[in-house]
Amino acid sequence: MFRGVCASSVTPFHADGRLRLELLGPHVDWLIAEGVDAISPLGSSGEFPAMECQDRERVLAAALEAVGGRVFTLAGTHDYSTARTVGLSKFAERAGADGLLIVPPYYMAPTPAQVMDHYRRVAEAVGIPVIVYHNIPLTSVDLTTDHLLRLFEEKAIAGVKMSHPDPDRQCQLLQAAGGGFRVYSGIDTAAFEGLCHGAHGWISGIPSTVPRTARRLYELIAVEGNLAEARAQWGKLAPLMRLQFQAYHSKGEGAHWFSTMKAALNMIGPPVGDPQPPILPLGSEHRGVLRGILEGLGYRIHQ
């Protein structure tokens, strides 16, 4: 498993919803040039719910080919159905993924015992490590520290991407886990605290949008132990976090995190297109603010 900063690559689409896989390679190259330690195709930023399994397989194959072994690849193989999750996971392993990122089964709100069995069945089918994508707001599933460590002891999972706004959930895991269990900060609002507690890496919006500046924060905390400089770096990044999570925090109006992310990538990197509806492009009332934040972080705006 990797340590450091992981970018969730986005999926480029045509306006009519067809994949634009020719744009994926330049996007992946840009992320790697920005210094990421890993790439996760078909995480939330890959818009996997907007695709049927066949198109998800096409995206995974194209992304893994574009990475070409240059960095660790953590393939998103989530689905509500255990059978489809297993199928996608086996495909990703055959295609060359180094590990799997899997969100718990969503919508039907299965019990923790049922969710744990879901992960066990995936682990039985593949030989690469599985990371739980812990995301209560979007799944209604809360696996506790005890649940997660039991799965780790059974060798069903290798760690967790903790997208919980309470930093102590990361702290609990890090304090309770033995060697080998990986804990990744999975939401930007708790990333600073999670990294200070000793999280092994960071997989979220900021590392996927401005990886170079995210990597610098990780290095300041995890490698150099320079808390004063880390606070200053977080002061530069926090406005982007607050813009991205406006609608998420208010549970209503404001900038949507993914609209913000794709708009930013189009401004500073190779084109990646717009989100798939119902998510819409970032509104004009937010674009000027975003542009100023990106320029403040040292990026050149070309769109």
Q: Is residue 73 part of a domain?
A: yes
Q: Which range of residues forms the domain containing residue 191?
A: 4-225
The helix or strand, by DSSP H or E, that contains position 228, with its residue range, turns out to be: helix 227-244
Catalytic (active site) residue 133? yes
The helix or strand, by DSSP H or E, that contains position 153, with its residue range, turns out to be: helix 145-153
- Per-residue pLDDT tens over the stretch 271-295: 999 999 999 999 999 999 999 999 9
Catalytic (active site) residue 155? no
Look at the chain and report how many structural domains it folds into: 1
**Residue of 80, 119, 161, 251 marked active site:** 161
Q: Is residue 12 part of a domain?
A: yes
Q: Is residue 284 part of a domain?
A: no
- Per-residue pLDDT tens over the stretch 163-174: 998 999 999 999
Q: Is residue 268 part of a domain?
A: no
Q: Is residue 248 part of a domain?
A: no
**Residue of 90, 106, 107, 133 marked active site:** 133
pLDDT of residue 70: 98
Q: Is residue 194 part of a domain?
A: yes
pLDDT of residue 2: 95
What pTM did the predictor assign?
A: 0.95
Rounded to a whole number of angstroms, the distance between the first and last alpha carbons of the chain is 36
pLDDT of residue 179: 81
Q: Which CATH number does the domain housing residue 156 bear?
A: 3.20.20.70
Report how many helices (DSSP H) and strands (DSSP E) the chain contains, helices first.
Answer: 14, 8
The helix or strand, by DSSP H or E, that contains position 264, with its residue range, turns out to be: helix 257-268
Packing angle, helices 112-125 and 145-153, rounded to 10: 30
Q: Is residue 254 part of a domain?
A: no
pLDDT of residue 86: 98
Residue 37 to residue 73: CA distance in whole angstroms: 9
- Per-residue pLDDT tens over the stretch 170-208: 999 999 987 889 999 999 999 999 999 999 999 999 999
- Per-residue pLDDT tens over the stretch 207-254: 999 999 999 999 999 999 999 999 999 999 999 999 999 988 777 889
Q: Is residue 198 part of a domain?
A: yes
List CB contacts of 194: < 8 A, sequence separation 6 or more. 162, 167, 170, 171, 183, 185, 202
